[in-house]
Amino acid sequence: MKYVAIIRQVPDGESKIKVDGGRVNLEGATLILDQMDEYAVEQIIRLKEAHGGEAVVVAFGPERTEEAMRTALAMGADRGVLITAEGYVDPVTQAGALAKVLTEEAPDVVFTGGQQADWDSQALGAAVAEALGWPSVTWTTAFELEDGHAKATHDLDEGAEVVRVALPAIFTTQQGLNEPRYPTLPGIMKAKKKEIKKIDAAELGVSGSKVEILEQQIMELERKQKIIDGTKEPAAAAAEIIKLLHEEAKVL
């Protein structure tokens, strides 16, 4: 069997982001393997450990994505394929290029992050699946292989459900799916020698993007920060806060 994780490199949620001239500037930001994609990498390594086969990481992104890909290889993935494109490319266009690579790789199971920590997009997994004519399952919290099918539990808007899916198929991750391992030092050393094949997105027919980002600005709401000390008289503090919510904020 062959398993693929589609990964991305994103700024760490803990690091400050800045905007210059209406554009997010990632200079100085810590860039990491997207935490939602870590679950995907962990899952394909576990599948390989349990059932044998090959675990491959695939990405669509700028050259620097190689760093995140090395992290995935250090965790235990076997090799990588990186489709390179600088700047923003929408998920539908990306899906077309990724589908070409996946058609060639012919995996049985594909995992990718449930939401991207930079574009806040949830579309990529389902879009790639559609481009391939494969089924997809989003927000997967449990997964097992079962006679040529997969049985997966995934979250809906309300509650969850268990589905049986014909393979090949694409699954997007949710917290709870697994606990991603940290790369070990020997893993990091080995990862340096693992193969990363780079393909220019243009060679896969990508020319531009259907969606263009025009302007970005930091958006943090001003908060009133009216803080009441309720350590001595909790009941009085509770009465005061409910009064403020009712009379001042008018939300109760």
Partner 1 sequence: MILVVMDHDGNELRKGALEGVSRARKLAEALGGEVAGLVVGPGAEGVAEKAKDYVSKVYVVSGPDWEAYTAEKWAKAAHAAAEAAGARVVVAPASRTGRSWTARLAVKMDAALLEDTLDSWAEGDKVYATKYSFLNRVLEKQAGTLPAVISVKPNTTPLAEPAGAGAVEPLAVELGELEKKVEVLEKIAETGGKVALTEAEVVVTGGRGMGSAEAFQMIEQFADLLGGAVGATRAVIDAGWRPYAEQVGQTGKTVQPNVYFALAVSGAVQHQAGMNKSKVVVAVNKDPDAPIFKETDYGVVGDVHQVLPAMIEEVKKLKGA
Site for partner 1 in 87-146 (CB under 8 A): 90-92, 95, 114-115, 117-127, 129-131, 133-139, 141
Q: How far is the CB of 158 from partner 1 (least distance, A)?
A: 5
Instruction: Pick the binder of partner 1 from 106, 148, 192, 251 (CB under 8 A).
Output: 251
Tokens 């997966």, located at residue = 152
The tokens for 137 are 């399952």
The dihedral through the CA atoms of 10, 13, 17, 22 has a sign that is: positive
Site stretch for partner 1 (CB under 8 A), options 17-25, 61-69, 181-189, 198-206: 17-25
**207: Cβ–Cβ under 8 A, 6 or more apart, which residues?**
none
Q: Please state the length of the chain.
A: 252
Q: How far is the CB of 90 from partner 1 (least distance, A)?
A: 6
Site stretch for partner 1 (CB under 8 A), options 42-50, 65-73, 84-92, 102-110: 84-92
Residues in 159-178 at the binding interface with partner 1, rule: CB under 8 A: 159-166, 169, 174-176
The tokens for 185 are 């030092």
How many CA atoms, within 13 angstroms, populate the side-chain half-sphere of residue 153? Answer: 8
The tokens for 20 are 């210059």
CB atoms inside a 10 Å sphere around CB 144: 11
71 vs 115, beta carbon nearer partner 1: 115
Q: How far is the CB of 102 from partner 1 (least distance, A)?
A: 14
189 vs 242, beta carbon nearer partner 1: 242
49 vs 248, beta carbon nearer partner 1: 248
CA nearest 145: which of 41, 43, 28?
A: 43
Say whether residue 226 binds partner 1 (CB under 8 A): yes
Q: How far is the CB of 217 from partner 1 (least distance, A)?
A: 5
Say whether residue 35 binds partner 1 (CB under 8 A): yes
166 vs 202, beta carbon nearer partner 1: 166
**250: Cβ–Cβ under 8 A, 6 or more apart, which residues?**
none
Say whether residue 147 binds partner 1 (CB under 8 A): no
73 vs 169, beta carbon nearer partner 1: 169
**CB-based contact 11:118 (threshold 8 Å):** yes
Hey, is 74 helix, strand or coil? helix
